């Protein structure tokens, strides 16, 4: 369970996240939805402790991220936007590094590494340097690195950005599957993705959480509109 209470964060005079509250439970795939600059990435960075909130708190399975940062982060894996990786490493070296970072050793490391690589279908590029990989494979490598310790909460920032249609499909299928037994939080502004993977939507605009709903409820709110139009209506200036 991950809980955000009265979470706020400002950069100078701009309120990036403004008094956000929610509670996400196991088995939910949550789409963090909003236009560019809505505060999605800032919220994710607050949830992962990368940024420090001005007020409010984040609790991860009972651990306050400001007070028990390391305990809280053991349960989380985060793949930032553009899936940053170390270009001079091979896929295998990167996954070993990711596993070691999470305290995995010997057999545990080898087993989890093989499992994460097979989940992301990386066997064909296992020994290839990351800087020679296609964008799709890089993305999968980053996700495999995040999965290596089997996190209970997986946070993905724009997970299908730059992927081809087949890769998008695979990634969405994976998110749905992983979200059955864990928590997955996905930041996106692609409505097709929301319809495809999310069981819940947190809609943000100008730092505020303007709606906490389900795809079905959002659709019911505007029965004569499709999801994209509903999104536009809820987040437009007018």
Residue from 98, 16, 26, 10 nearest 60 by CA: 26
Question: Candidates 49-57, 170-178, 209-217, 228-236 — which segment interacts with another protein by CB under 8 A?
Answer: 49-57
Burial 112-145 (b: 16+ CB within 10 A, else e): bbeebbeebebeebeeeebeebeebbbbbbbbbb
Q: Which is nearer to another protein, 50 or 126 (CB)?
A: 50
Q: Is 71 a binder of another protein (CB under 8 A)?
A: yes
Interaction residues for another protein, span 81-100 (CB under 8 A): 82, 84-89, 93, 97, 100
Mask for 134-173, x = binds another protein (CB under 8 A): --------x--x----------------------------
User: Could you tell me the CA-to-CA distances from 42 to 8, 51, 103, 183 in Å, in that order?
Assistant: 10, 8, 27, 19
Q: Which is nearer to another protein, 69 or 206 (CB)?
A: 69
Q: In what order do the strands lie in the sheet with 2-11?
A: 14-24, 2-11, 55-60, 63-64
Q: Which of residues 34, 39, 49, 215 is near another protein by CB under 8 A?
A: 49
Q: Which is nearer to another protein, 27 or 103 (CB)?
A: 103
Question: Candidates 46-54, 120-128, 182-190, 208-216 — which segment interacts with another protein by CB under 8 A?
Answer: 46-54
Q: How far is the CB of 70 from another protein (least distance, A)?
A: 4
Coil vs helix vs strand at 42: helix
Q: Where are the alpha helices (DSSP H) in the chain?
A: 40-47, 69-73, 91-101, 106-119, 135-147, 165-179, 191-197, 215-221, 227-235
Q: Is 101 a binder of another protein (CB under 8 A)?
A: yes
Q: How far is the CB of 9 from another protein (least distance, A)?
A: 10
Q: Which is nearer to another protein, 49 or 159 (CB)?
A: 49
| Positions that interact with another protein (CB under 8 A) | 45, 48-52, 69-74, 76, 78-80, 82, 84-89, 93, 97, 100-105, 142, 145
């Amino acid at each position: 369970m991950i809980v955000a209470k009265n979470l706020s964060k400002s950069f100078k005079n701009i309120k990036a996240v403004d008094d956000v509250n929610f509670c996400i439970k196991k088995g939910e795939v949550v789409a963090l939805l909003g236009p560019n600059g809505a505060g999605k990435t800032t919220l994710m960075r607050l949830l992962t402790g990368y940024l420090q909130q001005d007020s409010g708190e984040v609790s991860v399975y009972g651990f306050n991220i400001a007070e028990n940062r390391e305990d809280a982060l053991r349960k989380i894996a985060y793949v930032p936007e553009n899936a940053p990786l170390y270009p001079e490493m091979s896929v295998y070296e990167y996954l070993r590094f990711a596993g070691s970072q999470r305290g995995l050793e010997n057999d545990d490391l080898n087993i989890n590494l093989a499992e994460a690589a097979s989940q992301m279908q990386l066997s064909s590029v296992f020994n290839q340097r990351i800087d020679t990989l296609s964008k799709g494979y890089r993305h999968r490598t980053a996700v495999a690195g995040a999965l290596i310790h089997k996190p209970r909460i997986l946070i993905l920032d724009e997970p299908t950005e730059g992927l081809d249609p087949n890769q998008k499909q695979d990634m969405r299928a994976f998110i749905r599957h992983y979200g059955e037994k864990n928590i997955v939080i996905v930041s996106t502004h692609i409505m097709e993705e929301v319809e495809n993977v999310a069981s819940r939507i947190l809609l943000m605009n100008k730092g505020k959480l303007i709606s906490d709903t389900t795809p079905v409820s959002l659709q019911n709110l505007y029965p004569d509109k499709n999801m994209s139009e509903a999104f536009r209506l809820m987040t437009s200036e007018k």
